[in-house]
Amino acid sequence: MKKNLLSIAVAGLMALAGTASAQDYPTRPVTLVVPFAAGGPTDTVARLIGASMSKTLGQQVVVENVAGAGGTLGPARVAKAPADGYTLLLHHIGMATTATLYRKLPFNALTDFEYIGLVGESPMTIIARKTLAPAKLSDLVAYAKENKDKVTLANAGVGAASHLCGMLFQSAVGVPLTTVPYKGTGPAMNDIVAGQVDILCDQTTNTTEQIKGNTVKAYAVTTKARVSSLKDLPTTAEAGMPSVEVGIWHGVYAPKGTPKPALDKLVAALKVAMKDQTVVARYGDLGLDPVADADVTPGALQAKLKSEIDKWAPVIKAAGVYAD
């Protein structure tokens, strides 16, 4: 009897301590996992947002690049991390496309995570090494058809946004090209600039400065409307390739079971980041659209993920591209 009372008291104290520690959150640095190499668009967004969230949370948000396997290693790592609010994931559309692309995944995007919110949308751009001859998109298509055995298409692995855009590009060209996978856009961009690989379709987050600096050739932006930071660049529709239309959304996730008080603080800090003048200005320079306050919510990210899985599943199935 005594023992029972004691264990009830201990359990009560532990529950109280648990609540208190969840409410004190965060008391140490928070890791934000990026599933691609440093220097790429996902990394850029994570570092920008992480810096702002650090100020609000009063603890450092440290970006960790867990790159490889088309961006699937990062979510796998976060899905298995302790659900205590100290390990988060920033990922893009790949959370939705890999659900169909991969026959087997070590995580389930719909059941293994808590959702924090959407963090913006980025157009893609079709670019090439500067020395590639074609001047406009229609010339690039003709060139790719004529040289299909030697043209190379860089991407950040099966499941990356660049892979998705590359698939759309190849099906518009009508011939399969040789793809060269990297661990992220950072290293892929280095090789485009160095002239080691021919074509890349990637986010304006990383292509804008290269396009403006004239270190790469740019052909089109993949959104319906032109992007104000690259206003001379035609849309794919204007350049004769309307089927290559894609925007890359990003979201922040936590492991399933992360305590609600921690999630609430993370949502609040993310909302502040989306309005942070440094973030807003940099987003503008890089052609990124910040999201409306109402979309910086768990529900908005969850709904987006579900709708994007449904949107891309038939496209991927029709293309017959799968990874193991």
The binding site for ligand ASP (CB under 6 A) comprises 36, 40-42, 156, 160-162, 184-186, 202-203
**Contacts of 267 by beta carbon, 8 Å cutoff, 6+ apart:** 116, 117, 296, 297, 298
Contact by Cβ (8 Å): 64, 32? yes
Helix (DSSP H) and strand (DSSP E) numbers for the chain: 11, 9
For residue 184, which phi and psi values (nearest 5 degrees)? 165, 170
- Residue count of the chain: 324
Nearest to ligand ASP of 160, 274 (CB atom): 160
Nearest to ligand ASP of 54, 97 (CB atom): 97
Instruction: Compute the least distance from the CB of residue 202 to ligand ASP, in Å.
Output: 5
Nearest to ligand ASP of 73, 160 (CB atom): 160
| Type of residue numbered 139 | D
| Local structure of residue 124 (DSSP, 8 states) | E
Nearest to ligand ASP of 66, 263 (CB atom): 66
Instruction: Compute the least distance from the CB of residue 304 to ligand ASP, in Å.
Output: 17
Joined tokens for residue 164: 């998705």
Instruction: Compute the least distance from the CB of residue 85 to ligand ASP, in Å.
Output: 24
Residue 84 to residues 46, 119, 215: CA-CA distances in angstroms? 20, 22, 44
Contact by Cβ (8 Å): 202, 127? yes
Identify the CA nearest to 227 among candidates 259, 243, 205, 210.
205
Instruction: Compute the least distance from the CB of residue 156 to ligand ASP, in Å.
Output: 4
Nearest to ligand ASP of 90, 300 (CB atom): 90
Nearest to ligand ASP of 22, 165 (CB atom): 165
Instruction: Compute the least distance from the CB of residue 22 to ligand ASP, in Å.
Output: 32
Instruction: Compute the least distance from the CB of residue 162 to ligand ASP, in Å.
Output: 3
